[in-house]
Amino acid sequence: MQHLRLGVNIDHVATVRNARGSAYPDPVRAAKLAEEAGADGITAHLREDRRHITDDDIERLVAALTVPLNFEMAATDEMQRIALRHRPHAVCIVPEKREERTTEGGLEVAREENRLAHFIAPLAEAGCRVSIFIAADAAQIEAAARIGAAVVELHTGAYCDFHAEEKFAERDAELARLREMSAFAHSLGLEVHAGHGLTYDTVAPVAAFPEVRELNIGHFLIGEAIFTGLKPAIAEMRRLMDAARAGT
Ligand code: PXP
């Protein structure tokens, strides 16, 4: 099976920094450590309200990283301008609501097909791999393929929430849906990524889907780093992903 890439999301290093308005902890330092620990990419979400990652963080990440940057952003003109200035390896389009604590659902592509097709075209022309963050839903996947996205990232949040709430029947149904929709997206020629809410306890079944090429994981790893350090936390996630991939 192909190598499963691990994208480490460093947003919440910036959340801790911003809690005190200080210069530390520095998300760029975390990103460099993540690289050393074997991350295949770094993900950062520049939110409209700049609640964690800032414009300056993005500048510094672009300058410092040797692995690809996956720039997460809402489909706004401001973010498009920023992405076109930096031309990151990948741009992941996510829905964004100011009042939400985190990215709660997938993007509504099917109802916004025309606008999104026009929105992503210049990004793709600038050489960015455009990824669309969506629920594991056939209509959304078909729409993502129609608008010319290269990648879909399937939202694993509901699966992880059901696991945490010990609703195992619902969790397993969601996992089955993710598996089926990974295969469906792949069959349409889309590269398949997955992420949101993944932990040591929930990563293995998703890592085992043969069509999934990349997982993006942040909040759990940054939290775990408090106890074990960032590099060991990433190394353990990498080990669990590789073991699941190898079927061991
Ligand atoms: N993928 C996308 C598109 C996201 O928006 C996020 C959260 O910013 C993640 C992955 C990572 O989620 P988590 O921080 O819960 O691991």
Residue whose token pair is 């609640």 = 51
- Residue of minimum CA distance from atom 11 in ligand 1: 196
- For the cut 70, the answer to whether the pLDDT of residue 98 exceeds it is no
The b/e string for 173-200 (b: 16+ C-beta within 10 A; e otherwise) is ebbebbbebbebbbeeebbbbbbbbbbe
- For the cut 70, the answer to whether the pLDDT of residue 102 exceeds it is no
**pTM assigned to the model:** 0.96
- For the cut 90, the answer to whether the pLDDT of residue 1 exceeds it is no
* Ligand 1 close to Cβ of residue 7 (< 6 A): no
- Residue of minimum CA distance from atom 5 in ligand 1: 103
- For the cut 90, the answer to whether the pLDDT of residue 248 exceeds it is no
**Strands 212-217 and 5-9: what pairing?**
parallel
Residue 1 Cα, ligand 1 centroid: separation in angstroms? 24
Residue whose token pair is 């349409």 = 188
- pLDDT tens-digit readout, 107-123: 999 999 999 999 999 99
Structural domain for 203, as ranges: 5-246
- Angstrom distance (rounded) from CA 31 to CA 201: 23
Mean pLDDT calculated for residue range 29-58: 97
* Ligand 1 close to Cβ of residue 132 (< 6 A): no
The one-letter amino acid code at 54 reads T
Q: And the tokens for 129?
A: 């791999």
CATH code at 200?
3.20.20.70
- The CA radius of gyration of the chain, in Å to the nearest whole number, is 17
For 34, list phi and psi in degrees, rounded to 5.
Answer: -60, -40
Residue 214 Cα, ligand 1 centroid: separation in angstroms? 12
* Ligand 1 close to Cβ of residue 96 (< 6 A): no
- pLDDT tens-digit readout, 147-173: 999 999 999 999 999 999 999 999 999
Ligand 1 atom nearest 11 alpha carbon: 8
Residue 156 Cα, ligand 1 centroid: separation in angstroms? 9
Count how many domains the chain has.
1
Q: And the tokens for 225?
A: 């780093």
Pick the range with the lowest mean pLDDT from 85-99, 142-156, 194-208, 209-223: 85-99
- Angstrom distance (rounded) from CA 88 to CA 108: 23
